[in-house]
Amino acid sequence: MNGTGPLVLVVEDEPQVCRFLRAALSSHGFRILEAGTVREAEQLATSHNPEVYLLDLGLPDGDGIDLARRVREWTHAPIIVLSARGREEDKVNALDAGADDYLTKPFGVNELLARLRVALRHSRAGPAEEPVIEVGPLRIDLARREVRIEGREVRLTPTEYRLLTLLARHAGKVLTHRQILREVWGPNATEAHYVRVHMAELRKKIERDPARPQLLITEPGVGYRLRDQLEPG
């Protein structure tokens, strides 16, 4: 479960806390960078540009507060301070130096994760892009559930839409009758005739000449395939 989630830089010199954080974070999909000193932390920060920082104070070669201040000079990535010092003055100094949150040890895993979610919620305010599949002249916008062929919009019934998206997600590859039936009609479906009827409907809507398909290709005796590039003929 490594390689998908946000990249977090953990700056911490106590091995025990390190292990604790590593377990908590990696089990929730985060990718982790670790630094034990201010020097290491700055190198990793500039080279990898992590999405969020977990910062212990009291490092062997300098103060975490200064590190926070320097990091804040070139990025708005959230910084969460983890510290054994619970004095109010320490918190105020860290927060005013650029930290976004301050947790006093000991703290629970769930609180840490919740505060991480808050931090990431802030930094990801930007709009996310929509997933779109493009195959030849076809364009399928999954979020809008909109299908266009050469720019023109086509209305599809639920079954036709499921058929087409299934084929499009495996563009170029042959899907057997059995695979198609299981994906579109559920694991118990057996009537291969369903596929033929709905494939004909689909061809009426997206093929120039439904009698001579250029996109929805029949593979006799095997299944169907959505052509993903022009072929001779």
Partner DNA sequence: ACGGGGCATCAAGGCGGCGTCAAGGCCCGG
Partner DNA sequence: CCGGGCCTTGACGCCGCCTTGATGCCCCGT
Contacts with 168 (C-beta within 8 Å, 6 or more apart), sequence order: 133, 135, 138, 140, 226
Task: Determine if 126 is a binding residue for a copy of itself (CB under 8 A).
Answer: yes
In this chain, which of 66, 172, 182, 197 binds a copy of itself, going by CB under 8 A? 172
- The count of chain residues that interact with a copy of itself, using the rule CB under 8 A, is 37
> From the CB of 162, what's the least distance to a copy of itself, in Å?
10
Measure the CA–CA gap between 50 and 77, rounded to whole angstroms.
8
- By CB under 8 A, the residues from 12 to 71 that bind a copy of itself are none
203 binds, among DNA, a copy of itself, none (CB under 5 to 8 A by kind): DNA
> From the CB of 165, what's the least distance to DNA, in Å?
13
- What Rg do the C-alpha atoms of the chain give, in angstroms? 27
96 binds, among DNA, a copy of itself, none (CB under 5 to 8 A by kind): a copy of itself
Measure the CA–CA gap between 148 and 206, rounded to whole angstroms.
9
- Record the tokens describing residue 38, joined without a space: 């201010």
Measure the CA–CA gap between 147 and 161, rounded to whole angstroms.
8
The residue among 61 and 130 lying less far from DNA, judged by its C-beta, is: 61
Task: Determine if 208 is a binding residue for DNA (CB under 7 A).
Answer: no
The residue among 209 and 231 lying less far from a copy of itself, judged by its C-beta, is: 231
193 binds, among a copy of itself, DNA, none (CB under 5 to 8 A by kind): DNA
In this chain, which of 155, 229, 230, 233 binds DNA, going by CB under 7 A? 155
Using the 8-state DSSP alphabet, how is residue 95 labeled? H
| Contact status, residue 166 vs residue 199, Cβ threshold 8 Å | no
In this chain, which of 84, 92, 132, 200 binds DNA, going by CB under 7 A? 200
Q: Give the 3-state secondary structure percentages of the chain, helix then strand then coil, rounded to 5.
A: 40, 20, 40
Strand partners, 103: 82
| Contact status, residue 10 vs residue 18, Cβ threshold 8 Å | yes
Tell me which residues touch a copy of itself (CB under 8 A).
76, 88-89, 91-92, 95-96, 99-101, 108, 110-111, 113-115, 117-118, 122, 125-126, 130, 143-145, 153, 157-158, 172-174, 219-222, 225, 231
